[in-house]
């Protein structure tokens, strides 16, 4: 009877392989997204939708080039056009990833009823062979008058995981909420 109770309480436990930094980062990033959205920030998925749309167009271009009715010597110019379009669209997609997304794990709209006109960009880093997890909260529009100052949290992942690899959500939740509050309390930039 006691074993069944233990199993039922462990269903929502987030467990990671402590030797795999990608597993650790994934669980922490997922938890950060949950925490930020629970604070009233709605996720902004426009950039994700744009990337999916571009990816779909790239796949369609590749499929059209592969299954075009004419054989090679006759469709040479068409294939060159498809290859060029494929390369250009992939370059645009990589440019979006490099300039806009960077290390971002979450883009948000401003919370309803708030005075700010800009959402958040939440990004994280967990370098390879390091236990230092860095969480950054920035304004989605840094040039906006209501943009807050960027805030950072850097801690060892050993602060939030047990020896068995289970995330101690209470401690992590408290640290992330403190970072969100720190960002919200920063004075907005004034025009110069």
Q: How far apart are CA 62 and CA 72, in angstroms?
A: 15
> What dihedral angle (degrees, nearest 10) is formed by the CA atoms of 174, 179, 183, 186?
90
Q: Indicate if the pLDDT at residue 166 is higher than 70.
A: yes
Q: Indicate if the pLDDT at residue 75 is higher than 50.
A: yes
pLDDT of residue 120: 86
Containing H/E element for 155? strand 151-156
Whole-model pTM?
0.75
pLDDT of residue 18: 81
- 160-to-7, 95, 105, 164 alpha-carbon distances in Å: 22, 34, 19, 11
The terminus-to-terminus CA distance of the chain in angstroms comes to 68
Between 118 and 189, residue with greater pLDDT: 118
pLDDT band (50, 70, 90) for residue 1: very low
Q: How far apart are CA 123 and CA 136, in angstroms?
A: 5
Within 8 A by CB and 6+ apart from 16, the residues are: 23, 24, 26, 27, 161, 165, 167
- 127-142: per-residue pLDDT in tens? 988 889 999 888 877 6
pLDDT of residue 67: 85
pLDDT band (50, 70, 90) for residue 19: confident
Q: Indicate if the pLDDT at residue 182 is higher than 70.
A: yes
> What dihedral angle (degrees, nearest 10) is formed by the CA atoms of 114, 43, 134, 164?
120
Q: Indicate if the pLDDT at residue 24 is higher than 50.
A: yes
DSSP tag of 5: H
Q: Is 157 exposed, middle or buried (0-12, 13-18, 19+ CB in 10 A)?
A: buried
Q: How far apart are CA 62 and CA 154, in angstroms?
A: 43
């Amino acid at each position: 009877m006691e074993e069944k109770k233990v199993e039922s309480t462990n269903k929502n436990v987030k467990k990671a392989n402590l030797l795999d930094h990608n597993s650790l980062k994934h669980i922490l990033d997922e938890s950060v997204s949950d925490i930020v959205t629970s604070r009233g920030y709605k996720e902004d998925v426009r950039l994700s939708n744009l990337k999916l749309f571009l990816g779909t167009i790239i796949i369609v271009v590749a499929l059209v080039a592969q299954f075009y009715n004419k054989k090679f010597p006759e469709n040479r110019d068409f294939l060159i056009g498809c290859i060029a379009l494929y390369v250009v669209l992939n370059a645009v997609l990589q440019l979006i990833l490099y300039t806009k997304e960077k290390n971002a794990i979450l883009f948000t709209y401003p919370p309803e009823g708030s005075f700010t006109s800009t959402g958040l960009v939440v990004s994280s880093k967990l370098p390879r062979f390091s236990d230092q997890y860095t969480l950054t909260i920035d304004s989605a529009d840094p040039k906006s008058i209501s943009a807050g100052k960027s805030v950072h949290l850097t801690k060892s992942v050993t602060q939030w995981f047990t020896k068995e690899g289970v995330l101690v959500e209470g401690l992590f939740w408290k640290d992330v909420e403190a970072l969100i509050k720190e960002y919200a309390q920063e004075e907005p930039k004034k025009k110069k």
